Amino acid sequence: MKKQLLLLIVALFTAFQSQAQNETAKLPKVAKQLDLMIEHDQSVAKRHIDFMNQNVKSDAPEMKNLMDEWKTVGDTDKILLKILFKENGFLGYKEVGEQSSHNFLQMVQRMDTDSTFQQEVLVDMKKNIDKINASPIEFAYLTDRVNLNQAKPQVYGTQLKINEKGTSYEPKTVIDLKNLNKRRAEIGLGTIEEAISIMNGHFATSLKK
């Protein structure tokens, strides 16, 4: 596993240096590296969704192999993201462009075993919101992720789970549920009902009817 992780890190560093640079970003090479990382992540995530929709059991060999690969990808992301953040600070629109900044935050969100690092990114991100160098919506997603990982309720209800009956998604613990849609609207999110409907559609085959 360690050898596989090392090879993946080396491959990503080598690959991004040979790509065309993003002319609009201050850190075009970093932007390209983030893009390559998320591309690999998404290929694994797509296979996981496909397996879920095919009702592949968690103990099936193909699912176990996929989970091993997902862990390797996650470990690689964790190492590289910490290096990039330490060297460059928050990777916002001005630093890497809007899409690559989104990719950076998508990977940070998945680092649930390191909420300390997530919190560091969140604090730095908050400073960039007023500078129009970060997305308020993605700030909401990371805020909820950090809160849950620190055993606190969500503010915006961005993190969902399947309900006890297994028939629909619902928000994980959230403060002041009555005013949830108001807070979501203020930061640019759609209603919680719309979010639930989207998730139910994506994972329809894994829900009970």
Closest CA to 80 of 130, 131, 6: 6
- Max Cα distance, the chain (Å): 51
At residue 101, the 3 state secondary structure works out as helix
Contact between residue 106 and residue 37 where contact means Cβ atoms under 8 Å apart:
no
Pick the residue with more confidence: 99 or 10? 99
Sorted by where each begins, the domain ranges of the chain are: 2-149, 160-206
> Looking at the predicted structure, is the pLDDT value of residue 9 above 50?
no
> Looking at the predicted structure, is the pLDDT value of residue 7 above 50?
no
Q: Supply the pLDDT for residue 23.
A: 54
**Could you read off the pLDDT of 141-169 as tens digits, one per residue?**
999 999 999 999 999 999 999 999 999 99
Query: Which stretches within the chain are classed as H helix?
Result: 2-17, 28-53, 61-88, 93-96, 98-109, 115-129, 136-149, 180-187, 192-202
> Looking at the predicted structure, is the pLDDT value of residue 6 above 50?
no
Instruction: Please name the residues in contact with 77: beta carbons below 8 A apart, sequence gap of 6 or more.
Output: 37, 41, 107, 110, 111
Q: Which of 1-15, 45-59, 139-153 has the lowest mean pLDDT?
A: 1-15
Q: Supply the pLDDT for residue 22.
A: 52
Contact between residue 33 and residue 13 where contact means Cβ atoms under 8 Å apart:
yes
**pTM of this prediction exceeds 0.75:** yes
Average pLDDT over residues 90-105: 96
> Looking at the predicted structure, is the pLDDT value of residue 101 above 80?
yes
- Dihedral, 36, 39, 44, 48 alpha carbons, nearest 10: 160
| DSSP letter (8 states) at residue 132 | T
